[in-house]
Amino acid sequence: MGKSYKPITSMKEVPEQLRKLRRQYLRYQQAEIIYSISHKKLLELASDAGAIYRIDGTVLINKDIFDIYLERFHEPATGKDREEMMDER
């Protein structure tokens, strides 16, 4: 049997990963992964939001402020997809 299985993640690793996701302040690299935004666009948006903190050469983004700012770009559902699906039936 040549099958290899991925080892089961220990129960201690799961809370650690969740803690990283719940951080209030994120470094750019972490924010790029969480928000799936390029570095340049993230810099622009975080600066516009006023969510940037610079401490001794370390740049942090306040996740709470950034999330509130991102909600400005939320577009409400138009309902067109639902109507089109009903018409196709």
pLDDT score recorded for residue 78: 79
Q: Which two tokens stand for residue 34?
A: 């969480």
Tell me: the pLDDT tens digits for 5-38? 666 666 667 677 666 667 789 999 999 999 999 9
Architecture in CATH of 22-76: Orthogonal Bundle (1.10)
How much is the pLDDT for 23? 77
First to last CA, the chain: 48
C-beta separation of 32 from 39 below 8 A: yes
- Predicted confidence (pLDDT) per residue in 33-70, tens digit: 999 999 999 999 999 999 999 999 999 999 999 999 99
Write down the pLDDT at residue 11: 66
State the DSSP code for 50: T
Q: Pick 65 or 83 by higher pLDDT.
A: 65
Alpha helices, H only, 1-89: 13-21, 28-35, 39-49, 63-70, 80-88
